[in-house]
Amino acid sequence: MNSREIRQKFLDFYKGRGHVVIPSASLIPENDSTLLFVNSGMFPLVPYLLGESHPSGVRLVNSQKSFRSEDIEEVGDSRHDTLFEMLGNWSLGDYFKEEQLHWWYEFLVDGLKIDPKRLYQTVYVGDPAIGAEKDEESISIIRDIFKEYGIDAEEGEETVGKGAVGPGVPIDFSRVRIMAYRDKNWWKRGDAIGELGGPDSETFYDTGRPHDQKFGEHCHLNCDCGRFIEIGNSVFMQYKKTAGGWEEIKNKNVDFGGGLERILMAENEITNIFETDLFAPIIDRLEVLSGRRYGDDMRSFEIVADHLKAAAFLIGDDKGIVPSNVGQGYIVRRLIRRAVRYGRQLGITESGWMKTVLPTVLDIYAGVYPELERNFGFISVELDKEEEKFARSLENGIKEFDKMAGKGNISGKEAFYLYQSYGLPKEDIEELCGQKGISFDGSGFDEELKKHQDLSRTASAGMFKGGLADSSEETTRLHTAAHLMLAALRAVLGDHVLQKGSNITAERLRFDFSHPTKMTDEEIEKVEDLVNGWIRSDLPVIVDEMDIDEAKKTGAMGVFDDRYGDRVKVYTIGDGKVSIEICGGPHVSKTSEIGDFKIIKEESASSGIRRIKAITIK
């Protein structure tokens, strides 16, 4: 099957089991300035997993476009990509482990005809320290599933230490189908009171690759050698964080996500996602442009194909991001410049070559993500502009190299400076040094690069905390206060004010909005007075579910990007005279529950964007 067939088959499979198909959300997070990009199918549904009712019901399914910046450095190993699609299905307090695991294997084996002998499953080993037991229920269900296919599934050695290391013993994979881990199979969104958590059960596909002992003496399901590749993960949200620890809850959720690219690879019985129809046409086009074969330099071909496609999606999103030196724009710039650098290694140097590959990307996703076609011209222009800027940067880098070379050999730090500031690849620096008859410290360069990569990963991980930190009472009060503050900002500063992002914890709210100048003390005081006046008026906070067209007619503010499907939740404060917004919640029932509102800081977030930090005092 090709990608279109599998994507549709997945949606139809779960639709036939009572699920409502919901659209993919934008790659750009709504109301969240801490998450760079939507990085999973679960993220847009967090409010509903935390207890809000979804307008489309309790059984949902979709294919969500996702992007993970922390995987940029991993691309080039045949199984990692930054832009991917996550096939997902959810049960919001409805079915649980029995149905989820049986349906998932039915889809894989009966629907896609994947050989069950190549499938393996991990489960949660349990942790007495947090009061969570071993997931014996999933183990029993998985054994029954394999038995249906004539396979006796034994459990292997447990791993309570670092999951990537494994149990450290030889494993007979002809018998062992199930392995229990601790750190790899426990999911939680956070540690705040009210957060959900629980065991997850991952499905692995055996690619048949030989084990590489540089990743450990013995292979296991979570080994990084590449023999076993995860193709799906069923998260069972059955615990809630309380003051006394993690306690089991009555209304349990299922959150499943499976990478389309990897599932497609397994269905086609190949070992490389770049050989699937989601990448192969791009690789073919790059072969024509470079005059080289994919097998000559697989890593460079994969990096260029992945980064070019990812940049096209990020720029072409209806909330499109353009290359810049900060935040999301920096990631787009980094993708394009890495694609150009590795394209140069393949011999692709023709000016404007990137836009000639763009139609191939559009063909792959024609009719699936229409925003790519809708924004084709914009993507082309931005790719061209960034490619031209980078060409100038490389020229300046060579001039800077000449200055350094005049003083003698190039140190590792100097070489990394040329790489980081001007984009000169290590190979180019080495070649330039050879032409000058000097040398540079290659190992020193590698050390500096590793430091930079470690810092980048840490920074990326720090950005992936999610919008509302939790669903506690404090966070809920601040969330509703943010609605009032937006209304007040528009009343004081003007209708040009729009929300550009937010991050809300139990301690404070952080709110980004469009405004060209610093707010005066008088303006800040007026906003505070308006918000506190509405709070003291004890206004009701009313929620209504309605069709998205009906919501637009009410004048509700919000991003109409089909995130919620055909029906949305509209929160009205003060009979609509104060605030009407589309939102996923949670909210207080009346404004008097918020407490006193106080702005503690107003500052610049970026060009044309201001940022407010505020608190409430109960």
Q: How far is the C-alpha of 460 from the C-alpha of 36, rounded, in Å?
A: 8
Write phi, then psi, for 255 (nearest 5 degrees).
-125, 110
Cα 31 to Cα 67, 318, 564: the distances in Å are 17, 15, 14
Q: How far is the C-alpha of 255 from the C-alpha of 252, rounded, in Å?
A: 10
According to the 3-state scheme, what is the secondary structure of 75-120? CCCCCCCCEEEEEEEEEECCCCHHHHHHHHHHHHHHHCCCCHHHEE
Angle separating helix axes 376-405 and 412-422, nearest 10 degrees: 150
Write phi, then psi, for 531 (nearest 5 degrees).
-60, -45
Q: How far is the C-alpha of 556 from the C-alpha of 248, rounded, in Å?
A: 38
Sequence-ordered alpha helix ranges (H) in 246-375: 260-267, 280-290, 298-316, 327-345, 353-364, 371-374
Six token digits for residue 614: 């505020």
DSSP class of 62:
E
The architecture of the domain spanning 473-617 is 2-Layer Sandwich (3.30)
Six token digits for residue 517: 């100048």
Q: What distance lies between CA 459 and its chain's CA centroid? A: 14
Q: How far is the C-alpha of 296 from the C-alpha of 299, rounded, in Å?
A: 9
Residues lower than pLDDT 70 in the chain: 31-34, 455-471, 559-566, 585
Write phi, then psi, for 141 (nearest 5 degrees).
-65, -45
Secondary structure class of 14 (helix, strand, coil): helix
Position 89 scores a pLDDT of: 97
Q: Is the separation of the CB atoms in 548 and 441 below 8 Å?
A: no
Whether residue 586 is preceded by a cis peptide bond, meaning omega within 30 degrees of 0, is yes
Cα–Cα nearest to 130, from 182, 95, 81: 182
Question: What pairs with residue 181 in β-bridges?
Answer: 124, 159
CATH of domain 3-274: 3.30.930.10
Q: Is the separation of the CB atoms in 487 and 511 below 8 Å?
A: no
Q: Is the separation of the CB atoms in 569 and 52 below 8 Å?
A: yes
Q: Is the separation of the CB atoms in 333 and 386 below 8 Å?
A: yes
Q: How far is the C-alpha of 398 from the C-alpha of 391, rounded, in Å?
A: 11
Tell me if 3-274 shares its fold with 473-617: no
Six token digits for residue 585: 């919640």
Cα–Cα nearest to 77, from 209, 234, 255: 209
Q: How far is the C-alpha of 411 from the C-alpha of 419, rounded, in Å?
A: 12
Domains of the chain: which residue ranges? Answer: 3-274, 296-463, 473-617
Position 562 scores a pLDDT of: 47
Q: How far is the C-alpha of 257 from the C-alpha of 234, rounded, in Å?
A: 7
Q: Is the separation of the CB atoms in 82 and 307 below 8 Å?
A: yes
Position 324 scores a pLDDT of: 84
β-strands 83-92, 245-259 pairing: antiparallel
Question: What pairs with residue 84 in β-bridges?
Answer: 66
What's the pTM value of the predicted model, to 2 decimals? 0.74
SS3 content of the chain, % helix, strand, coil (to 5): 40, 20, 35
Burial (CB count <10 Å: 0-12, 13-18, 19+), residue 542: middle
Cα–Cα nearest to 202, from 172, 228, 174, 170: 228
Q: Is the separation of the CB atoms in 336 and 384 below 8 Å?
A: no
Residue carrying the six token digits 């601040």: 478
